[in-house]
Amino acid sequence: MIVNSILLIALLCVALWAVMTRSLLRSAIALAIVSAVLTMLMFRLHSPLAAVFELSVCAGLIPVVFVSAITLTQPLSTKEVLQHMRERLTRFWYLPFIIVSSGIIFTFIHLSSKMPLPGAEVDKDVRILLWNIRPLDLIGQILILLIGAFGILIIFKEKKENE
């Protein structure tokens, strides 16, 4: 229980850092760390399947996409960096408050369920499991990936040519 709490707090801190940091690259790295911590939490909460997905997709694939997209952008000038650093604290002052207050609210909700959740059948092959039970979601994932590809194609490709 204590370990879980520590992990949760760490998760929040890293997430805050992701938002507050001045460099996009650091944000991306922070997001990857968030995913990694989340993966640990999921393992501890006995959902290995979700944990594996989180680790592979959110901590692995997405940061790669982010980092590759960030390399296409122009770095900020020193003056802008200073400006940004000044602003970020004032801009996001309410974020910690929101996090703390929502934490307090959630302690009042007793999520004590007697009903056991349908545990994932870990023993079976994941691919077959997905294909048989949730083919639609799989198709949805393909669609999302395609959209992401087109989005990057549209937004960034031309910019690079302009440079």
Partner 1 sequence: MLLSLLILIPLFSVLVLNLPPLLRRAKVSFYCALCFTLAQIALVFFCVFNPQSIVVNPFGSLLELDLSADSISFVVLLSIGITGFITLLVAKYFICEQQNEHNFVSVLFLALAGLNGIVLTSDIFTLYVFLEIAAAASFVLIVINRKKNALEAAFKYIVLSILATTMMLSSIALFLFIAGNTHFASIRAAFNYSSHDFLLILASGLFICGAFIKAGVVPFHGWLPEAYSESPAPVTVFLAGIVTKTLGIYTLIRIVNSVFGFLPAINNLLLFAGAVTITLGALGALAQNDFKRILAYSSISQIGYIVLALGSGTALGLSAALFHFFNHSIFKALLFVNSAATEAQTKTRNVEAMGGLQAKMPATAFTSVIASLSAAGVPPLAGFWSKLMIVIALVASGHPLYALVAVLASVLTLAYLLSLQRRVFFGTLNADCAQVVEARAGLVFAAVLLALITVGAGVFFPFVLNTFILPIEKIFAG
Q: 60, 122, 143, 160: which one contacts partner 1 (CB under 8 A)?
A: 143
Q: Mask 91-110, x = binds partner 1 (CB under 8 A)?
A: ------------------x-
Does position 61 interact with partner 1 (CB under 8 A)? The reply is: no
Backbone angles phi, psi at 99, to 5 degrees: -65, -45
Torsion angle (degrees, nearest 10) of CA 26, 28, 30, 31: 170
Q: Residue 26: how many CA atoms within 13 Å on its side-chain side?
A: 11
Q: Cβ 88 to partner 1, closest distance in Å?
A: 16
Token pair 């296409």 is found at 72
Does position 161 interact with partner 1 (CB under 8 A)? The reply is: no
Instruction: Tell me the number of residues near partner 1 by CB under 8 A.
Output: 26
How many other C-beta atoms can be found within 10 angstroms of the C-beta atom of residue 101? 11
Tokens representing 29?
A: 């790295």
Q: How far is CA 93 from the centre of its chain?
A: 21
Q: 111, 123, 128, 163: which one contacts partner 1 (CB under 8 A)?
A: 111
Does position 115 interact with partner 1 (CB under 8 A)? The reply is: yes
Residues that bind partner 1 (CB under 8 A): 109, 111, 113, 115, 117-118, 134-137, 139-144, 146-148, 150-151, 153-155, 158-159
